[in-house]
Amino acid sequence: MRRLILVVAAVASVALPTSIAVVTAAPQAGAAVSLTCAKLKGTTNGPVSAFKCSVSKADKKLYKKLTAPSAISLATGGTLTWSSSGQTVTIGSPTLSGASGHCPSKDTEEIATGTVTGGSSTITHAGDSFRVDVCISSKGKVSNAKGTVVDL
């Protein structure tokens, strides 16, 4: 169950312009990354959001935060929504790999990677890859690993 939640959190991060998954595995060959997001926050049993994304100054208000309503719903792929524009990013089921050592020792760590499969967002595209290194605390708090970003 914890691994499933972690995958969901990673997927949520990736769906954001900053990928939501912190992954140690390399993205698919030829897959592009459209954005990066500096922060991933949420809980295992609630929403997960990616924010502080690398969008142009003109687009900052439209693409401020990318959120999945439930971290668990992302474990098999799902849809994230941009807070202001309402545009969506749909991601496929992520692949999980082992820890990179960037999370506190008491946290569970997973690296999630996968592919954007669709959505209405004009800043991400079907075929883009996502990658996020996710830390999950014993209290269920989800964040990206220290020194990492969400690639999307």
Among 18-32, 84-98, 108-122, the range scoring the smallest mean pLDDT is 18-32
Give residue limits of the domains in the chain.
2-151
Q: pTM of the full predicted structure? A: 0.76
- Residue 59 vs residue 22, higher pLDDT: 59
31 pLDDT band (50/70/90 cuts)?
Answer: low
Contacts of 30 (CB under 8 A, 6+ apart): none
> What are the angstrom distances between the C-alpha of 117 and each of 19, 64, 71, 124, 152?
13, 21, 18, 10, 12
99 pLDDT band (50/70/90 cuts)?
Answer: confident
